[in-house]
Amino acid sequence: MQLHPQYYYQQLPPPERAAYHGMLTCLRELAPSTRIPRLSMETLGTIFFQLRLDHPEIFYAVGFSCRAVPEAEVVDFCPEYRFDKKRIREHSQAIEARAARLLRPLRSLPPAEQERAIHDFIVENVRYDKLEKPYSHEVIGPLTNGVGVCEGMAKTVKLLCDGLGLPCMIAVSDRANGDRYLHAWNIVQLGGQCYHLDATFDNSLSKHGVLRYDYFNLDDTKIFRDHRKLLYPAPACTDGGQFYYKLQHLSWTKPEEVARRVDQALRKKQPGLVFHWRGGYLTKEVLRELLDLIEKAGKERQKTALIKLNWPQAVLRVRYTDEPIQPVVTMEEANEGEETPEGTASL
């Protein structure tokens, strides 16, 4: 089944669809109010939130109020706009122009390459910044200011995918105890199968010019190793065949394969190597074996191994240095972009 651009609208019963449609028309016209079916404020709040997940181009609506209509089954929906009409139109034109420039060279590419290009745009050009509040949660942040939080990045991915006709939705995680914020990422459909794409987590890992794809086309089993359960139901992602490292032949199942590829990278004087371990659970014992092989390959060429490990996703980044220092492994924590202390342990 095709993933619908208005995924959340498709899940609603008729009265809620009518409210959604009324809100959407009002927001597109920048109208001060409209009448929609009388529903609970909690229900209307959910519809308003989901509508903006389906339509990231509506970046300018920040809230709403309702006025009761006496003895009627409708209420007046009164949106709150972030900017005045003139500024909304100016920002909309800037966003449309930027999106058009980004998408023009992608239209002739296969869907999988389109998805990768959108991912790379977020990773290379957007800086995580939750201080730019008027912008960071919406597409205006990443597309015109180069800043965003997970919601803004996920909305930007969807806007660009929608512009290419690439089926995409925004997934939202539930709050854990004590958490103030939800986390958002995308589900993209390729060849009839759905995959998780978390550009924000890859953004947080991609430092010093190395693009990471640890969260590029994961199935449900892998994404929920370090993502909370979903706030709203989403399509099942059951296929692992489009995982980036697997397609690039960087997902290995045998220690001897790791040793061979690391040695090959050293001989070719490559600056570093990122790979995924697919040979069963990455236990401490297995990790110890891999680290010993990596360290040994470096010692044979008088180099020291520096390793970053994304343990939940079993991804290792290996870099060698000529500096005479103690080999170390750094535990990476993919996150929503905040600076977090990295744990370091001796090899």
Residue 180: per-residue pLDDT = 62
What phi and psi values does residue 177 have, to the nearest 5 degrees? -55, 125
Q: Which amino acid is at 207?
A: K
Residue 178: per-residue pLDDT = 57
Query: CA-based angle 255:256:258, to the nearest 5?
Result: 65
Query: CA-based angle 241:244:247, to the nearest 5?
Result: 60
Where residue 178 falls (left for φ over 0; alpha for ψ -120 to 50; beta otherwise) is left
The two tokens of residue 148 are 């965003």
Residue 346: per-residue pLDDT = 41
Contact between 179 and 158 (Cβ < 8 Å):
no
H or E segment and range at residue 26:
helix 14-29
Residue 209: per-residue pLDDT = 81
CA neighbor of 338 nearest in space, from 220, 181, 117:
181
Cα distance between the two ends of the chain: 48
**What is the SS3 assignment for 289?**
helix
- Where do runs of H (alpha helix) occur along 30-110? 41-54, 85-103
Find how far residue 336's CA is from the centre of its chain.
Answer: 9
For 120-154, give the DSSP string: HHHHHH-EE-SS-HHHHTSTHIIIIISEE-HHHHH
Per-residue model confidence as pLDDT tens for the chain (347 residues):
789 999 999 999 999 999 999 999 999 999 999 999 999 999 999 999 999 999 999 999 999 999 988 888 999 999 999 999 999 999 999 999 999 999 999 999 999 999 999 999 999 999 988 766 668 999 999 999 999 999 999 999 999 999 999 999 999 998 765 566 789 999 999 999 999 999 999 999 998 789 999 999 999 999 999 999 999 999 999 999 999 999 999 999 999 999 999 999 999 988 789 999 999 999 999 999 999 999 999 999 999 999 999 999 999 999 998 887 777 789 988 876 544 334 444 44
The CA distances from residue 192 to 8, 93, 248, 289, in Å, are: 19, 33, 21, 39
Contact between 304 and 325 (Cβ < 8 Å):
yes
Q: How far apart are CA 164 and CA 152, in angstroms?
A: 19
CB atoms within 10 A of CB 181: 12
